[in-house]
Amino acid sequence: MQPTIDIIVKEVIKRIKALQCQKKILLVLKDSTDFSTLRILMKKIIDRNYEFEVLSLLQNNQEEYQDPIYKNMTKLRSTKLEDLKGKELIKDYQGMILSNVSLRELKNIKDLDFEDSLGGLIYETLKANKPVYCLSEDLQDIKNPGLAKKINSFMTELREIGVRVVQHNLSMENKINKIPEQPPKNIQDKPILHQKFITLRDIKGMEYSINHTNSKVIHIAKDSKLTMEAEDYIDEKNMIMRRI
């Protein structure tokens, strides 16, 4: 017996919904990566229910690529970067991580000076308003106060276009402050975000609504998921996230 049109339509809708719930990050591996720091970052993102697909541009450090954390990840051929336009490659992902970026490369990104296929991919990711995360050893351990001030200004310009440089020590453990999930006594008076997927726009709207109380607490439903941009904003603003 052939399936009816209704059954086929239901199956298609089911598959589309499943795809819509997927949260995938494109990880671009480059030489001279600090793999221990990268692993910590990856683990934190995996704990937020994101999946990785890996595009390896490694010429060296191949043994690091044997780490069990990569075992079940989809591996993309490096030629895919050349075969596809950046727009086509990034469309299925919620963002991108570059495992090592030099100061010169970061300057090129800031100046929108994209000369190769990887640069084109970065540009298309930013153009689609998707975050780009970069690990960079060049910006670590700066002891010169004047230089540090310029670097901070430089990183602010990068953040404005959607690029975040991850600090080497990855002291992110306490950045997103979480407090026990038991609701406060007057929870009925607190606005709560109930959306299945909470976006940066939702968080900013909630922030505006609670500003008059001088509160830093954001209440969200227990089963809600946050986009990476929303989580980063909570992190950046030192807000406290309470699940109800």
Residues 38-80: tens digit of each pLDDT: 888 888 888 878 899 999 998 876 777 778 888 889 999 888 8
Nearest 5°: phi and psi at 99? -75, -20
For residue 13, name the pLDDT band (cuts at 50, 70, 90). Answer: low
| Rounded (10°) CA dihedral 190, 200, 169, 239 | -20
Q: Does residue 170 surpass a pLDDT of 70?
A: no
For residue 14, name the pLDDT band (cuts at 50, 70, 90). Answer: low
Q: What is the 3-state secondary structure (H, E, C) of 190-230?
A: CCEECCCEECHHHHHHHHHHHHHHCCCEEEECCCCEECHHH
Q: What is the mean pLDDT of residues 29-40?
A: 88
* pLDDT of the residue at 1: 45
Q: Does residue 124 surpass a pLDDT of 80?
A: yes
For residue 187, name the pLDDT band (cuts at 50, 70, 90). Answer: very low
Mean pLDDT, the chain, rounded, equals: 78
Could you give all domains of the chain from N- to C-terminal order, each with its CATH number?
Answer: 22-166 (3.40.50.1950), 177-243 (no CATH)
* pLDDT of the residue at 177: 34
